[in-house]
Amino acid sequence: MATENTNLSNYDATALPDATLLRFGIVVSEWNSTITEGLLKGAIDALLDCGAEESNIKTIHVPGSFELIFGAKKMQQQLVDAVIAIGSVIKGETQHFDFVCDGVTQGIKDLNVLHEVPVVFCVLTDNNLQQSIDRSGGAHGNKGVEAAITAIKMAHLSHTL
Protein backbone atom coordinates (compact mmCIF):
# COMPACT_ATOMS: atom_id res chain seq x y z
CA MET A 1 0.00 0.00 0.00
CA ALA A 2 1.40 3.37 -1.06
CA THR A 3 1.02 5.16 2.27
CA GLU A 4 2.34 2.39 4.48
CA ASN A 5 4.97 3.81 6.85
CA THR A 6 4.39 7.29 5.41
CA ASN A 7 2.95 10.29 7.19
CA LEU A 8 1.11 12.35 4.59
CA SER A 9 1.17 15.47 6.76
CA ASN A 10 4.93 16.07 6.61
CA TYR A 11 5.99 19.11 4.55
CA ASP A 12 8.32 22.08 4.74
CA ALA A 13 6.30 25.26 4.19
CA THR A 14 9.48 27.28 3.61
CA ALA A 15 10.32 25.12 0.58
CA LEU A 16 6.97 25.76 -1.12
CA PRO A 17 5.90 28.55 -3.47
CA ASP A 18 4.24 31.53 -1.80
CA ALA A 19 0.49 30.91 -1.45
CA THR A 20 -0.39 34.38 -0.16
CA LEU A 21 -2.13 35.61 -3.31
CA LEU A 22 -3.44 32.26 -4.53
CA ARG A 23 -7.16 31.42 -4.52
CA PHE A 24 -8.33 27.88 -3.82
CA GLY A 25 -11.60 26.06 -4.34
CA ILE A 26 -12.38 22.97 -2.31
CA VAL A 27 -15.21 20.62 -3.23
CA VAL A 28 -16.12 18.15 -0.47
CA SER A 29 -18.31 15.07 -0.60
CA GLU A 30 -20.89 14.77 2.17
CA TRP A 31 -20.75 10.96 1.92
CA ASN A 32 -18.50 9.48 4.64
CA SER A 33 -18.49 12.97 6.17
CA THR A 34 -16.44 12.00 9.22
CA ILE A 35 -13.61 11.18 6.82
CA THR A 36 -14.14 14.01 4.32
CA GLU A 37 -14.45 16.68 7.02
CA GLY A 38 -11.14 15.48 8.47
CA LEU A 39 -9.56 15.77 5.02
CA LEU A 40 -11.08 19.24 4.60
CA LYS A 41 -9.65 20.39 7.93
CA GLY A 42 -6.21 19.10 6.96
CA ALA A 43 -6.36 20.87 3.60
CA ILE A 44 -7.50 24.21 5.02
CA ASP A 45 -4.99 24.10 7.88
CA ALA A 46 -2.14 23.40 5.45
CA LEU A 47 -3.21 26.15 3.03
CA LEU A 48 -3.36 28.67 5.87
CA ASP A 49 -0.04 27.48 7.25
CA CYS A 50 1.51 28.08 3.82
CA GLY A 51 0.28 31.66 3.66
CA ALA A 52 -3.08 31.40 1.91
CA GLU A 53 -5.64 33.92 3.10
CA GLU A 54 -8.81 32.46 4.61
CA SER A 55 -10.86 34.74 2.34
CA ASN A 56 -9.16 33.12 -0.69
CA ILE A 57 -10.40 29.62 0.18
CA LYS A 58 -13.90 28.80 -1.08
CA THR A 59 -15.55 25.53 -0.01
CA ILE A 60 -18.66 23.84 -1.36
CA HIS A 61 -20.23 20.50 -0.47
CA VAL A 62 -21.72 17.96 -2.85
CA PRO A 63 -23.77 14.85 -1.94
CA GLY A 64 -21.22 12.17 -2.90
CA SER A 65 -17.88 11.50 -4.52
CA PHE A 66 -19.36 11.07 -8.00
CA GLU A 67 -20.73 14.61 -7.77
CA LEU A 68 -17.22 15.97 -7.14
CA ILE A 69 -16.72 16.16 -10.90
CA PHE A 70 -19.57 18.61 -11.45
CA GLY A 71 -18.67 20.58 -8.32
CA ALA A 72 -15.04 20.83 -9.41
CA LYS A 73 -16.07 21.95 -12.90
CA LYS A 74 -18.22 24.71 -11.40
CA MET A 75 -15.44 25.66 -8.99
CA GLN A 76 -12.98 26.00 -11.91
CA GLN A 77 -15.23 28.80 -13.17
CA GLN A 78 -14.92 30.76 -9.88
CA LEU A 79 -11.58 32.47 -10.59
CA VAL A 80 -9.56 30.10 -8.43
CA ASP A 81 -5.97 29.04 -9.04
CA ALA A 82 -6.51 25.39 -8.07
CA VAL A 83 -9.34 23.12 -6.97
CA ILE A 84 -9.13 20.29 -4.45
CA ALA A 85 -11.71 17.51 -4.81
CA ILE A 86 -12.20 15.71 -1.47
CA GLY A 87 -14.06 12.43 -1.19
CA SER A 88 -14.04 9.01 0.42
CA VAL A 89 -15.20 5.77 -1.15
CA ILE A 90 -15.00 2.67 1.03
CA LYS A 91 -15.23 -0.74 -0.61
CA GLY A 92 -18.46 -2.60 0.00
CA GLU A 93 -19.94 -5.86 -1.20
CA THR A 94 -20.93 -4.72 -4.70
CA GLN A 95 -19.22 -3.28 -7.78
CA HIS A 96 -20.53 0.19 -6.90
CA PHE A 97 -17.09 0.96 -5.41
CA ASP A 98 -15.38 0.21 -8.74
CA PHE A 99 -17.80 2.27 -10.80
CA VAL A 100 -17.63 5.30 -8.50
CA CYS A 101 -13.83 5.19 -8.16
CA ASP A 102 -13.32 4.81 -11.90
CA GLY A 103 -15.87 7.49 -12.78
CA VAL A 104 -14.46 10.05 -10.34
CA THR A 105 -10.88 9.34 -11.38
CA GLN A 106 -11.67 9.70 -15.08
CA GLY A 107 -13.85 12.77 -14.50
CA ILE A 108 -11.18 14.62 -12.55
CA LYS A 109 -8.60 13.62 -15.16
CA ASP A 110 -10.86 15.03 -17.87
CA LEU A 111 -11.20 18.35 -16.03
CA ASN A 112 -7.41 18.60 -15.87
CA VAL A 113 -7.06 17.85 -19.57
CA LEU A 114 -9.85 20.12 -20.78
CA HIS A 115 -9.48 23.18 -18.53
CA GLU A 116 -6.72 25.50 -17.35
CA VAL A 117 -7.36 25.32 -13.60
CA PRO A 118 -5.75 22.24 -12.00
CA VAL A 119 -7.97 19.90 -9.99
CA VAL A 120 -6.21 17.91 -7.27
CA PHE A 121 -7.52 14.41 -6.60
CA CYS A 122 -8.05 13.90 -2.87
CA VAL A 123 -10.44 10.98 -2.97
CA LEU A 124 -9.66 8.14 -0.60
CA THR A 125 -10.46 4.76 -2.15
CA ASP A 126 -9.97 2.41 0.77
CA ASN A 127 -10.85 -1.19 1.47
CA ASN A 128 -12.24 -0.42 4.93
CA LEU A 129 -13.11 2.37 7.34
CA GLN A 130 -9.90 2.01 9.35
CA GLN A 131 -7.78 2.72 6.27
CA SER A 132 -9.81 5.89 5.69
CA ILE A 133 -9.41 6.97 9.30
CA ASP A 134 -5.66 6.36 9.10
CA ARG A 135 -5.40 8.68 6.06
CA SER A 136 -7.70 11.48 7.23
CA GLY A 137 -5.84 12.48 10.38
CA GLY A 138 -4.86 9.12 11.83
CA ALA A 139 -1.78 6.92 11.76
CA HIS A 140 -0.73 7.94 8.23
CA GLY A 141 -1.39 11.66 8.67
CA ASN A 142 -3.87 13.48 6.50
CA LYS A 143 -4.23 13.16 2.74
CA GLY A 144 -5.98 16.56 2.77
CA VAL A 145 -2.67 18.15 3.79
CA GLU A 146 -0.94 16.43 0.87
CA ALA A 147 -3.66 17.67 -1.50
CA ALA A 148 -3.24 21.25 -0.26
CA ILE A 149 0.52 21.13 -0.87
CA THR A 150 -0.11 19.70 -4.33
CA ALA A 151 -2.65 22.46 -5.05
CA ILE A 152 -0.11 25.14 -4.12
CA LYS A 153 2.52 23.56 -6.35
CA MET A 154 0.12 23.10 -9.28
CA ALA A 155 -1.23 26.66 -9.02
CA HIS A 156 2.34 27.95 -9.05
CA LEU A 157 3.19 25.71 -12.02
CA SER A 158 0.12 26.94 -13.89
CA HIS A 159 1.18 30.58 -13.36
CA THR A 160 4.81 30.05 -14.34
CA LEU A 161 4.29 28.16 -17.61
Q: Whose CA is closest to 117, among 87, 146, 158?
A: 158
Residue 9 identity (one-letter amino acid): S
Given 61, 96, 140, 159, the catalytic residue = 96
* 96 noted as active-site residue: yes
Separation between Cα atoms, residue 63 and residue 30, nearest integer Å:
5
> Within 13 Å and on the Cβ side, how many CA atoms surround 8?
28
- Which residue type is seen at 16? L
Catalytic residues: 96
